[in-house]
Amino acid sequence: MPAPVLEVRGLSKSFKAVKAVRNVSFSIAKGRTFGIVGESGSGKSTTARLVLRLIDPTTGDIRFQGVDLAAMRQEELRRQRRHMQMIFQDPFGSLNGRMTVRETLTEPQLVHGIGAPASRAEVARNLLAEVGLPSSALDRFPHEFSGGQRQRIAIARALATNPELIVADEPVSALDVSVQAQVLNLMRDLQDRHGTTMLFISHDLRVVQFMCDEIAVMYLGEIVEQGPRDRIYGAPAHPYTQALLASAPGKGAGKRARLSGEIPSAHAVPSGCAFRTRCPHAHERCAIEPPVMRQLDDGQQAACHLLDQAVSV
């Protein structure tokens, strides 16, 4: 098996007394998309920022193409960033309003010393065509475009350095529903064409199902279940995953309980299993003992006392 492009082990981040991310581990093989899904406050966006070292981890390893990013100094990190790009939720906020599209698309190449001025301009034109915008857009400014077009420009900018890894944090949640599918289809096409590896963050189960090969479900800073997409959606093992799926728009709850109540504050994570205050199966042990991650079939893993007969990871 080829080495994963990204391997994260035991990643944790505390902000003073708040443990925002706790002991997160996963890996992504080349060309695959790994999704992290969960409610707001689950720690998924903090995990995305940790992976790119936009914030520093409290503990844990982040290996990108075999190199330890967690221990890397700023100068080395800056060189590595050429190979790791991010797409943000708000394309308006993430684009510089004073830069033309041409400047937006040539700047990352300039910063990382890629190509000569003429070839950078040619790359910018080609990138625009790839994201379905005409070359007449090159001399316009972000405010002259719709939200969907701006996100296309942000995607083109992320591809400008031909990165190995793209981290996309809620890339379509600020867009109209009618535009979301177009942008998601574009991202999938481009990924196929470029062979890019992707970490994809979303609260939207339908979007994650459409985009991702492997999925991790996060709750209050921890991964509670992960595995191949078809296992997570076809045979969810953790009560939180089951409740999320039962609560998704357009899904009948069936026999499964929908999600009730609010996610607790990260300042006051419940003892034992963090999900116990909302879990319909919670029992005495759940308040005392944190469940360990158990290995299920076909690479699926989940952390719940109801799975005690499965092998611990």
Which residues lie near ligand SF4 (CB under 6 A)?
239, 273, 275-276, 279, 281-282, 286, 291, 304-306
93: Cβ–Cβ under 8 A, 6 or more apart, which residues?
A: none
In DSSP notation, 248-267 reads STT---TTSPPP-S-PPPGG
Nearer to ligand SF4, 148 or 291 (CB): 291
Nearer to ligand SF4, 192 or 289 (CB): 289
Nearer to ligand SF4, 99 or 306 (CB): 306
- Residue 245 C-beta: closest distance to ligand SF4, Å: 14
- Residue 240 C-beta: closest distance to ligand SF4, Å: 6
- Residue 73 C-beta: closest distance to ligand SF4, Å: 40
Nearer to ligand SF4, 8 or 286 (CB): 286
List of E strands, the chain: 6-15, 18-28, 33-37, 59-64, 67-68, 84-87, 165-169, 197-202, 214-219, 222-228, 293-295, 301-303, 311-312
Taking CB atoms within 8 Å and a gap of at least 24, the contacts of 144-148 are 146/179, 147/91, 147/92, 147/174, 147/175, 147/176, 147/179, 148/175, 148/176, 148/179, 148/182, 148/183
Nearer to ligand SF4, 117 or 280 (CB): 280
- Residue 192 C-beta: closest distance to ligand SF4, Å: 37
Nearer to ligand SF4, 214 or 225 (CB): 225
269: Cβ–Cβ under 8 A, 6 or more apart, which residues?
A: 19, 220, 221
Alpha-carbon radius of gyration of the chain: 20
Distance CA 49, CA 100 (A): 27
- Residue 271 C-beta: closest distance to ligand SF4, Å: 11
- Residue 237 C-beta: closest distance to ligand SF4, Å: 10
- Residue 305 C-beta: closest distance to ligand SF4, Å: 4
Nearer to ligand SF4, 229 or 281 (CB): 281
CA 147, 151, 152, 157 dihedral sign is positive
Contact between 236 and 245 under an 8 Å Cβ cutoff? The reply is: yes
